[in-house]
Structure 1
Amino acid sequence: MTAPIPSRPLGPTLTRRAALGVVGGIALAGPAAYALPPAARPGSLLDEVHNRVEPYLELDHAHTGETYVGRFYGATGYDVAELQKLDWFLRDWRQVAVVQMDPRLFWALAVIRTVAQRAGFSGKATINSGYRTLKTNSSLEGTARNSLHMAGRAIDLTFEKVPPSQLVGCALALQIGGVGQYPGFTHIDSGNLRTWHG
C-alpha cells in the first residue's frame, strides 16, 4: 500500500512571508553591533538586520570539495584572515585566481542562514560559483558578458533542503541586489535590484 500524497509540504518551509517575519523579528532583537560596507541601496532590509545575526557561515564547494566554516566578523571588526579564507574558497578554481569578494554577500548569506535555521533547516550552503575570471566566464554557456561574478559581487548557491523558490523569496526580501533562479541553484549578487529565471 502506498502512502497518500500530502496536501502540504512535510518538514520546514521558508516562505517569503515567513522570511520577512523572521527577519523583521531580528530587526527588533537588539542594538546595532556590526559594520556593513557602504550600501548600494541605503535602507534595504539587509542594512536593517545584518547586525542582528551571527556573522558565521557553513559552506561546501560543489566543485572543489572544500568546506568553509567560520566567523568573518568579530568584536574588533572584520577578521581579515577569515575574509581571505572566504576569498580563496570562492576563487575561480578553473584558473586558480582570487579576488576580494563583496562582504555584503557574506552578510546576506549570514542572514539567510539565520532565517533558514529558524525555519527548521540546517543553514548550510553549497557554492556552485563565486568569482570568475573573464576567461572562465567566456567559456561557460549562458553567462552574461558583464557578469558580476567577474567583479567578486555574485555567488551561485543552494541552501541545504531549502526549495529554490523559498531561497529566492528570502534573498529578494533582503534587497541585496540581483536574484536569479536556475535549475539547481540560485544566483545572488550585490548589483542592481532585479530578478529573473534562467
Structure 2
Amino acid sequence: MNFSRRDFIKFASGSVIAASCTPSVALSACATAPRSLAFNNLHTGEELESCYFDGRNYINRELARIDNICRDFRLNQVHQMDKNLFDMISLIQSELGVDTQVQIISGYRSPETNQALRSVSSGVAKKSYHMLGQAIDFRLDGVNLKQVRDVAMDLKAGGVGYYPRSNFVHIDTGPVRHW
C-alpha cells in the first residue's frame, strides 16, 4: 500500500491526539504509517521529498538523502542525522494539521563551521547538538513560527529554541529544555 504525505497526516492526526502527544507513544500509535517529509535547504536551493519510513522500517537510502540535504553546506560535509528529528517534525506537522515544506536553515555543522559561527554570534553553542547531527533549525512553509515552537515544546522530546527575529525554530534530541 502506498501512502502519501497527506494520508500520513490524516492518519497520524487522530493517533497523535489519542496518544496524548507523548512522542514515543504517539509514534508507536502510528508506527505502521509511512512517514514522508518535503525539504528545502534555503542556503543551497536543493529540494527533496522523501518517504524515510515505510510503515515498518526506516529506509536507509532515504535517510542518506536527507543527511545530504542537511549537510554542512559551507564545507560540503555530510553527517548522519538523528532520524528522531524527522519524526519530531512529522509529529509537529501532524499536530498542526499541515503538510508543508520543511525549510532548513541549519542541519549538521562541522566543528569548524560551528566555531566560525560562534565567533560572530553569541547564540551559537560551543557544544552544539548540530555538530552531532542531533539538531535542526527550520521553519514550516506558511506556518506561524510560534505555533511550531509551541507544539515542539508540548512534545517534550528534546531542546526547543525560538528565534522569531531570524524566523526559525531549533529542535534537538538532547535533554528537554527550551529558550
Smaller-chain TM-score bracket: 0.7 to 0.9
Per the alignment, do residues 54 and 113 of structure 1 end up closer, same or farther by CA in structure 2, a change over 3 Å counting? farther
Shift of 1:145: 0.3
Q: Mark the runs of 5 or more structure 1 residues left unpaired by the alignment.
A: 1-21, 31-42
Contact 1:113–1:124 (CA under 8 A) maintained in structure 2: no
Q: Which is greater in Rg? A: 1
CA RMSD of aligned residues (A): 2.3
Q: Distance in 1 between matches of 2:13 and 2:175?
A: 23
Structure with more helix by fraction: 2
The yes-or-no answer on 1:67 pairing with 2:47 is yes
Q: Distance in 1 between matches of 2:103 and 2:61?
A: 21
Partner amino acid for 1:128?
I
| Residue deviations 1:70-114 (CA, integer Å, cap 9, x gap) | 110114511110010011110001011111111100111111122
Aligned counterpart, 2:3: none
The yes-or-no answer on 1:47 pairing with 2:47 is no
Higher relative contact order (CA 8 A, sep 6+): 1
The yes-or-no answer on 1:134 pairing with 2:111 is yes
Q: Which residue of 132, 150, 159 maps to 1:151? A: 132
Q: Distance in 2 between matches of 1:79 and 1:194?
A: 30
The yes-or-no answer on 1:161 pairing with 2:161 is no
Aligned counterpart, 1:26: 15
Per the alignment, do residues 45 and 69 of structure 1 end up closer, same or farther by CA in structure 2, a change over 3 Å counting? same
Per the alignment, do residues 111 and 54 of structure 1 end up closer, same or farther by CA in structure 2, a change over 3 Å counting? farther
Percentage of pairs with the same residue:
33
Per the alignment, do residues 122 and 27 of structure 1 end up closer, same or farther by CA in structure 2, a change over 3 Å counting? closer
Q: Give the alignment's TM-score, normalised by structure 2.
A: 0.81
Per the alignment, do residues 122 and 23 of structure 1 end up closer, same or farther by CA in structure 2, a change over 3 Å counting? closer
SS of the equivalent of 2:108 reads coil
Shift of 1:194: 0.6
Q: Mark the runs of 5 or more structure 2 residues left unpaired by the alignment.
A: 1-10
Per the alignment, do residues 192 and 76 of structure 1 end up closer, same or farther by CA in structure 2, a change over 3 Å counting? closer
Partner amino acid for 1:194?
R
Deviating beyond 4 angstroms after TM superposition, the runs of 4 or more aligned structure 1 residues are: none
Aligned counterpart, 2:64: 84
182-191 vs 46-55, greater mean Cα deviation: 46-55
Contact 2:158–2:177 (CA under 8 A) maintained in structure 1: yes
The yes-or-no answer on 1:194 pairing with 2:174 is no
